[in-house]
Structure 1
Amino acid sequence: RISELFDIIIDFPESKASLEELKLCMERNDLRKTIAYSLRNTFETRLLHPGANTNDILDQYISAIHSLRIIDPSGIILDVACYPIRKYLSSREDTIRCIISNLTSDTDGELAQQLARGNNSLTDSFNESDTDSDEDWSPDPVDAIARKGMTSGYHKKKDVLSMLVTIYGSKQLFSSEYRNLLAHRLLTLFDFNTDKEIRYLELLKLKFGETNLSDCEVMLKDVKDSCRISDHIQSTMNKIVQEEKDDSLMLNTLIISENFWPKFKEEKLKLPPKIEKTMTAFAKHFEKLKAMRGLHWKYHLGLVNIQIEIANHQKQFSVTPLQASIIYLFQEKVQWTIEEISEELQVSSTILRRKISYWINQGLLKETPVDSYNLVEDRITPEDAITEDDETTTVTSAADQHEEEQELYWSYIVGMLTNFPAMELDRICSSLKLFIPSAGELSSRDLKMFLDKKVQEQKLTHNNGEYALVK
């Protein structure tokens, strides 16, 4: 059974009977060490490799948590066998994004169900002491000795979500990643309907706390206010269009409070004149409605709902502004080179090739010859509605934001240690919080890890509890 344990975990919960058999064997024979290291080696060879999908690794990890708790309620096997999984997941850039996506998905997955139950905040899990007070407490086995590289008391974390969060040891990083995911979702809303997102936010606040998600509340409020403002301005513009018999586009605008939203990736894009005209008119009405305030457009963000008619066939597409601008150009002429499109839209050829490939896959454009594109006028793909499946994110990831913050901290630390030859950890921490607003939630523990890393890089020295620049 030990050699089959990996496959048994994959089949959980259908394999629960086999796990109960192993539990009976464990009660008669102490095979804890054999099982733990055998399974650990199997995980490293069969699961933890670049070809494995992050979601598959997470599913296997969650199954392993449930399965190994049946075999060994003390959690010793779980702690030893799954240590490589936790370490490997922490090294993957998309792990946090996958966890947050699973938490807020419409499926009946393990994490989504756990979030829906809404019990046990993560604060309790992080502050949990090594001594349990539960009625079902039992002492650790005699072979539960300290292990190199293992987190003390890790197996006492009973909540699956808590165990996933403790891979990183920071709720703030998870909250930042959810803010990025929420921003991406809100940017693709046509109807400003945020009921589902509000529900997810309320459930996440029970887990992560209101303080960590306060920015998300402002983001959702921005959507609500934008709906009201956009409807008012659009109705005014429609009246003008009817009076002047001018052709205009339907424009729903999301007006954001920049300080509360994640940083957006800056991309240059020149929109077609007709679209620019509509946006300019909208901005003027906004300035009349909101005195002393103006709009700074992010042309590359959002979603465009377009209808294309070719050979008496009409199809709906939901695409990015750049992709809409590309296909819009083919109304003027049926053939464009990559250089002409690049000059017209002021976008690099590299980005254009990636975006044009979407229309080629939909059968609307054809490349003949190289870097020259023709409109296919005799067919449209049979799908009724095509929505772009673009994995390119429009916001800076939480990890990238965290790295930018650390670089900012480092510049201030260098300045402080230039003026003061040596400073203690607490003094550096309080000084950073005084001068940098974003350092308000910086803990002494996180700062110490950052400073110790600089010591390893031989940029700082640490003597008698004080840090100094390497001379």
Structure 2
Amino acid sequence: MAQVQIPAPLPAPGGVFASVFPPTGIKPPKHRQRFTPAATSKIPEIKRSLNSHLRSLLGIGDEGFFYGQNRHLPNLGGPFHSHFESSPPADQIRQPTAADHAAQNAREAESPLWTSLPRWRSVVGSETMKRLLAAVLNNQMTEYVTWSYAGVYRPNLHLHLDFWVTHLFARITQKALSSLRGGQSTLDVAESDLKKWKDMATARLGALRVDELFDIVVDWDATAPAIDDLRHFTTNPATRSYLTHHFSNVLQTRLLHPGASTINILQVYISIIRAFRILDPKGVLLDRVAKKIRRYLREREDTVKVIVAGLLSDPVGEDGHGQPSSPDPEILTDLAIELSKHDGQDGGGNDGEFDWNDMEWVPDPVDAAPDYMKSKNTDVIGSLITLFDSKDVLVKELQNTLAERLLKNKADFNQEIGVLEHLKIRLGDAALQGCEVMLRDVLDSRKVDNVIRKDQGMQDDKGRPRQDSDVQLHAKILSRLFWPTMPEQAFHVPKVVQDQQETYERGFESLKQSRKLTWLNAIGQVEVELELEDRVYQEEVLPWQAAVIYAFHDNSGEVKADEPVQTATVQKTKTITDLTAELAMSPTLVRSACIFWVSKRILIEVRRDTFAVLETLPDDDDVVMMGDDDTGRPGNRQKQQPHDSAAAAVAAEVAAAQAAKEAEEAERKQKIAMYHQFIVSMLTNQGAMPLPRIAMMLGIVVPGGFPFSNEELKEFLAGMIRDGVLEVGHGGAYKVSS
């Protein structure tokens, strides 16, 4: 008999599910939501309407929005305006009264949002509406911070933001959530939620200020209150790191590039120091952002010159009318102001691990870098002085700039004395000994000059100059070893000046019997007075410029003129070649002086490299006859243009720069001859030497140090090898040719 097997009954679906997934590990969703396509398509529309209603309730985009009653209450202050710039000062905004709350609630009750929320909830569900509400409120907090505070820098901004979060954002959010629940739940905001929203708003404001930080620093005087906003933001390592990283990238993009001038970079750096000292007195944040700036400034060749010029500048100069003059944009006068404010004590504190006398001591921040060096030397002057690896770089440039200022004809040198006194506190007396000697030379020179002029009959007992001399000579006597090297542009001074110099030398040798004077004719100032037919010209010029114009002087009194010209007469003509031979001056320097006097409308170039005195200035409608050109053709009649003087002045500056370059090159060639002799003597006495040792020895024996690199020295030695003076031995050592 056949057996029929009856299949076992299948387990219930729930049993299969339970056999695979234990019921204790899986919980069904609390709210099952299934949207129809029609409901899903309404979400963007709901989001737009929700955004529009909440913007109106929160006062975003409406500069006339106010909270409560729009009137000033005695002893309570003014009403709150959502637009910060339209609101009263933050510390004068009154806290809302019961009447303010009632008026605000009445206005808010008119919004269609409260009737729309239940309807939207029925379409998309409660959870979806909460997510939409959270997303919209999150975006609107950022939008409000940007709209109300971007570019507005006023004190106590955090008080204004706290008011908006407490009385508008938190209350409207709580009211919207209560409406979504469909019940009359309490409208009181929990302290934890309120703190969370305030922290969110502070973070949004901090992010805004970090984006604006470069502009805040650049315009520091008008934007200083914004630093207080960042102090509320940078309260933990994460936000501090975000600020320094973002700001360093902005500096690299907007400031540290060849298009920015050194003075602009230094101005921004000074503002950064001031701002970050307020933001973080410990200096950790400044240490992070300043590294790139300091490294970049050290690579710029003119950094030290700009710093020294700023330290020696006069921040309270006067113009010709006795009024305070506007600061020169080419000079960093902020450094002179900072130097006069501080005496260096705040930059020279105890740099040890602990200062036991500091009752306000706090440990370094936890986010300080491993190589962070705690130092109180974070003021502007201290930061710039320590910019270079050695202070000798700053001192050397200070000597060069100070020499130029001390050689000028000034009534006093109080500015220079004050700067040296301040810098001695920071750099020490020994570092500035050379500058002290230079200053003492100039001050003592006035006394010596008066004694010599009086003893030699060059002035009377009252210091008045002798009337029978057209030239009055005053000299500054400099100690040769303590003054920087000055390029000498040699030329012959006029005979009357040479006679005065000889008289002055006799007086000096009788006063200082063990010393002898060496005249530096190209250095100094000359007050000239030129008497022309229709004017008298007075100005202070350089000695070589005065020597050139004096060469046009006619002692006989005869007037030697070329062809007559209309409305202009010339006394005497001189060519560049004639002046070069007469004055023993370089042609470039002669032409520079002539172009200078052309710019002052004292000379006129009648032909190429031929100049004459312009006795009478032409009228606007007159023309000046230019003489025959080099080809012998008649001269052209050219009208004097207003811009001719300016163009001539520029040409004079260019020619003077070229002359100075030639003088430096001549001095360099003279030094090269000295180096040549040093090298030959050294290799003769000590035998063959490799290149590095030759460079080291030259750095020791050459006065003032050897100024060339190893590559330049190698080229110089190669030239001596080509001349047969040296030869290269084993191992690349140089020796004297046998």
- Class of the TM-score when normalised by the shorter of the 2 chains: 0.7 to 0.9
CA distance in 2, matches of 1:178, 1:435: 24
Return closer, same or farther for 1:287/1:25 CA change in 2, 3 Å cut-off: same
Quote the offset at 1:6 in angstroms. 1.3
Q: Is the 8 A contact 2:530 2:537 kept in 1?
A: yes
- Counterparts of 2:687 and 2:551 in 1: how far apart (Å)? 58
Deviation per CA, 1:305-333, whole angstroms, max 9, x where unpaired? 11222334223211110111122223245
Measured at CA, do residues 358 and 174 of structure 1 come closer, stay the same or move farther in structure 2, by a change above 3 Å? Answer: same
- 1:39 aligns to what? 247
Q: Secondary structure at the match of 2:264?
A: helix
CA deviation profile, 1:180-223 (whole Å, cap 9, x unmatched) = 222111211265x3444333322222222111112222222222
Cα 1:364/1:49, change in 2 over 3 Å: farther
Change (3 A) 1:246 1:411: same
Give distance in 1, aligned partners of 2:424 and 2:308.
Answer: 13
- The answer (yes or no) to whether the contact 2:343–2:422 under 8 Å persists in 1 is no
Tell me how far 1:10 sits from its aligned partner.
Answer: 0.9
Please name the residue that 1:208 is paired with: 427
Deviates most, 69-78 or 297-306: 69-78
- 1:328 paired residue number: 550
Shift of residue 354 of structure 1?
3.6
| Deviations 1:335-374 (CA, angstroms, capped at 9, x unpaired) | 3222222222222233334444332332323334433333
The structure 2 residue matched to 1:114, chosen from 329, 332, 338, is 338
1:230 is displaced (CA, Å) by: 1.5
- The one of 348, 351, 356 aligned to 1:128: 351
Are 1:301 and 2:520 counterparts?
no
Q: Structure 2 matches for 1:93-104, cutoff 5 A?
A: 93-104=301-312
Partner of 2:609: 371
Contact 2:592–2:653, Cα closer than 8 Å, also in 1 = no
Counting only pairs closer than 5 Å after superposition, residues 150-229 of structure 1 correspond to structure 2 as 152-153=372-373, 157-189=377-409, 193-229=412-448
What do you get for the CA RMSD once the two structures are aligned?
A: 4.6
> What amino acid maps onto 1:316 in structure 2?
Q
Distance of 1:76 and 1:194 partners within structure 2: 40
Instruction: Tell me how far apart the structure 1 counterparts of residues 380 and 374 of structure 2 sit (CA, whole Å).
Output: 12
Partner letter of residue 328 of structure 1? Y
Matched residue, 1:81: 289
Q: Which AA in structure 2 matches 1:373?
A: F
Query: Alpha-carbon deviations, 1:38-74, whole Å to 9, x = none?
Result: 3223323332334433222211110011113333444
Contact 1:79 1:155 in 2 (8 A): no
Q: Residue 122 of structure 1 contacts residue 162 of structure 1 at CA under 8 Å; is this kept in 2?
A: no
SS of alignment partner, residue 529 of structure 2? strand
2:613 maps to a residue whose letter is L
Cα deviation for residue 28 of structure 1 reads 6.2
Q: 1:93 to 1:227 in 2, by over 3 A?
A: same
TM-score (normalised: structure 1)? 0.74
Comparing 358-367 with 164-173, greater Cα deviation is found at 358-367
Q: Does 1:360 align with 2:598?
A: yes
Q: Is the 8 A contact 2:347 2:378 kept in 1?
A: no
- Map of 2:489 onto structure 1: 267
Is 1:349 aligned to 2:584, yes or no? no
Distance 1:123 1:76 in 2: 16
- TM-score normalised over the length of structure 2: 0.49
Provide the secondary structure at the position in 2 that maps to 1:31: helix
Q: Which runs of 5+ in 1 are unaligned?
A: 423-428, 440-449, 459-468
Shift in Å, 1:8? 0.8
Q: Matched residue of 2:528: which SS?
A: strand
SS of the equivalent of 2:476 reads coil
SS at match of 1:88: helix
Question: Which amino acid counterpart does residue 343 of structure 2 have in structure 1?
Answer: N
What CA deviation, in whole Å up to 9, does each residue of 1:157-180 have, x standing for no partner?
A: 322211111111322322222222
Q: Would you say the 8 A contact 1:234–1:250 is kept in 2?
A: no
Inter-partner Cα distance in structure 1 for 2:498 and 2:247: 60
Residue 179 of structure 1 aligns to a residue whose secondary structure is helix
What SS is found at the alignment partner of 1:325? helix
How far residue 103 of structure 1 moved from its aligned partner, in angstroms, is 1.8
AA in 2 matched with 1:325? A
SS at match of 1:13: helix
- Give the Å deviation of 1:29: 7.9
Q: Distance in 2 between matches of 1:209 and 1:23?
A: 37
* One-letter amino acid matched to 1:203: H
Q: Following the alignment from structure 1 to structure 2, what is the Cα–Cα distance between the partners of residues 348 and 201?
A: 37
Q: Which has the larger radius of gyration?
A: 2
